[in-house]
Structure 1
């Protein structure tokens, strides 16, 4: 597709020749009146905007389909994660997440400009981490951050158990350097991480240790083991792993996909998943889960996939 630039100055105008490209609105920053400047020449919009680089400064913030607390949550932005803002209207910023390009609205008060926040160095790998006033577990707690949150850490304390952050201290057992992989059981640790979250409440759109949905659980634990994953289960089905041959026995860490759902095997017979039936992260017999989906679907299992 060709693009015509009518004005090469500050107010350049763009025109399309030919039909617009097909796109997934979940990960394409395009709405009726505005689009990301990167889409100029690919998708039509009355206006294009260059993204403003922001970062989540709150412990977490829900990403919503429209601006307003009464609108549906579609995902969640965690402390230290980047968010690229294309528009601000009132208390809400519209843009997309840096880690998976998921599009939506977040509260403006949950964001700070990247230039005003330190680059995160560590990610919370425990179900939650406390930020203590002093490098002492008996001292007061300043903040609680959920699994998946990112923070900037400096030198280690004299006792060897705490890392200094911009505001307080975090225990070394609760964080890991960004880019490293958690190893629990001689493997990449995905099943062990998911088991840490058993009992965490089911939250539509959630993807933190405080509450999550099925694909949010998979995305977060894969991130902690060094695997980038898209946000939703249908996207994950297409992007992750290799198909397991029919008749081959499932292993710990395998993914099983159902209609609009995904879970992780902890052994050949049982699955751990965030589900609305139990309203929490739970372990169930895979046969029981398949039977529930079979009641409403002719194909209860869409795929069985193994991560390399």
Structure 2
């Protein structure tokens, strides 16, 4: 099933990439030149279907306007293909938006609204869109069945999850249960110390495509930390490097807390002028270690230069 826009599609269109804009008021499309090259990680095109936003620049047999959905599980694997055995490329967190373009065989195809990352989700992980009022600011927050710390909880939500509700004393009442306000922040609130966020994730297991305390990868850690600081970043380290316009030549002695350091296929956050916090495949966990050690390992792999860039958050 191709996800077509409904009566309220004009208000539900995705803002990033402006899906729907190219085809507004039109039912025919044409290319004025050759179809452009694209990055399939962030441009929703399949051999049979594409996001309507790319009509006019990319050819596809069919185009679809996205239907807005949101995640209803603490974290749902985003996969490269519609199979439980496919590689997990990222995760959609509770309450985060998803632009649904196709629904077939129990799989939803589209992209995450937070970073435009394209992939497949289990269809039952999605529900109608919400207008979030709060986000989880603690590493994890228990969703309780009643506004009582002794009550049982149906789920534990990860940092970055989005929720909609009304404050009731020390609690936020949502349609799914109650969350302690102490573990939340108003949507739009930012933490100006991304390194501090990353430090809270130390010893988290390494998981390719992960974005939570259960498991996280290097770019997921950076995305989480800088996102909490009010700076949304793309999903992968090379996309982050390009989006930030990071420097290609770096003097490691000039680095300070919060700086991002990019290596080929890797990224980390400086804890101070000498140590880096990163989700490391070598240690299979988030670790703090001397930057000089990471540079030496990268250089041993014949990477030149081993430190490929950084960007400061000031």
TM-score (norm 2): 0.88
Rate the CA distance shift 1:287–1:245 in 2: closer, same or farther, 3 A: closer
Gaps of at least 5 residues in structure 1 are 1-7, 183-187
**Aligned pair partner of 2:58 in 38, 43, 54:** 43
1:172 matched residue in structure 2? 181
1:138 matched residue in structure 2? 150
1:155 shift after superposition: 1.8
CA distance in 2, matches of 1:285, 1:241: 25
CA distance in 2, matches of 1:97, 1:148: 14
Which structure 2 residues correspond to residues 174-213 of structure 1 after superposition, within 5 A? 174-182=183-191, 188-213=192-217
Gaps of at least 5 residues in structure 2 are 1-22
1:196 shift after superposition: 0.8
1:304 matched residue in structure 2? 310
Secondary structure at the counterpart of residue 173 of structure 1 = helix
Q: Which runs of 4+ in 1 moved over 3 A?
A: 8-11, 241-248
Residues 50-99 of structure 1 show CA distances to partners (whole Å, capped at 9, x for unaligned) of 11111111111111110011011111110001111111110111101111
Secondary structure at the counterpart of residue 274 of structure 1 = strand
**Aligned pair partner of 2:106 in 91, 113, 117:** 91
TM-score (norm 1): 0.89
CA-atom RMSD in angstroms: 1.9
Rate the CA distance shift 1:201–1:245 in 2: closer, same or farther, 3 A: closer
CA distance in 2, matches of 1:242, 1:299: 14
CA distance in 2, matches of 1:248, 1:242: 17
Residues 180-218 of structure 1 show CA distances to partners (whole Å, capped at 9, x for unaligned) of 112xxxxx1101111111111111011123211000111
CA distance in 2, matches of 1:31, 1:70: 20
**Would you tell me which structure has more strand in proportion to its own residues?**
1
Secondary structure at the counterpart of residue 307 of structure 1 = coil
2:97 matched residue in structure 1? 82
1:143 shift after superposition: 1.3
Greater displacement, 234-243 / 140-149 = 234-243
